[in-house]
Amino acid sequence: MDFVKVEREGGVATLTIDRQDKLNAISPQLVEEIGQSLLEIESEGPRVIVVTGAGEKAFVAGADITAMSAMSPTEAKRFAEIGHAAMALLDKSPIPTIAAVNGFALGGGCEIALACDIRIAAENALFGFPEVGLGILPGMGGTQRLPRLVGPAVAKELIFSARRIDAAEAQEIGLVNRVVPQGEALSAALELADQIATNGPLAVRYAKAAANKALDTDLVNGLEYEADQFALLFSTEDSREGMGAFSEKRKPEFTGN
């Protein structure tokens, strides 16, 4: 891996995008490394994944325009497909994902954050989709995930105008969960990850699947899916441990079984 590094501590895996000379800008190689790293992380079975960018200037400042400008339509389609596959590994992974956003999160950077379950932003974070100003459109899921998160009207305004917004406005419209002082996004994300990791891992994974199902189906089918997941958890050792520990007034020791 040239541009992605992974660290593991306890039940938390941290994926850092590190291409600081280019403000962590996305290239086809970097996207492939993200996808490969996520596959390897998931196979190791952590309880939470945190995604961040190296340095304080940028989470990911967008795509590498020099590399992208040389693409043919066929190459651009392939680039988008690679990006979609990598983002699906965040969005559809059974493992909860948290984006720790520092500095620029533009274009593809914002799309990486959108693919995570939770977004924590430093005060210096800047979000936006500059693509239409380049004569293109967001190609790594921005036109699909942003409307689902902030509503179609707000999403269209941001995408059509290419306007950048700061962390405070991003929180106001629901793009980020929380804003923290500059330099503290990663530590805040890791603190939340540790909190999530103490809970039953199967319960958290099933809860993520149920919450994602809400975006893909109607309420009746969503409730049926929730009831099925709820029932399945009663067959696990973790459910017996969790409820037993509550009755015995002790801390549960979950094993993921």
Closest alpha carbon to 127 in 88, 174, 93, 92: 174
Q: Which residues pair with 67 in a beta bridge?
A: none
Closest-CA residue to 145 (of 78, 58, 212): 212
Integer Cα distance of 220 and 116 in angstroms = 26
CA-to-CA distance for 105 and 107, rounded, in angstroms? 7
Alpha carbon distance 94, 218 (integer Å) = 21
**Nearest partner of 101 among 11, 195, 189, judged by Cα:** 189
* H/E run at residue 91: helix 73-91
Query: Which is the catalytic residue, given 44, 56, 81, 111?
Result: 111
Token pair 């086809």 is found at 28
From the candidates 32, 131, 224, 253, give the one annotated as an active-site residue: 131
Q: Name every residue whose Cβ is closer than 8 Å to that of residue 174 and which is 6 or more positions away in sequence.
A: 149, 150
- In angstroms, the first-to-last Cα distance of the chain is 33
Does 169 qualify as catalytic in the annotation?
A: no
Q: Would residue 224 show up in a list of annotated catalytic residues for this protein?
A: no
CA distance 69 to 79: 12
Q: In b/e form, how buried is each residue of 201-219, taking b as 16+ CB within 10 angstroms?
A: bbbbbbbbebeebeeeeee
Which residues does the annotation mark as catalytic?
111, 131
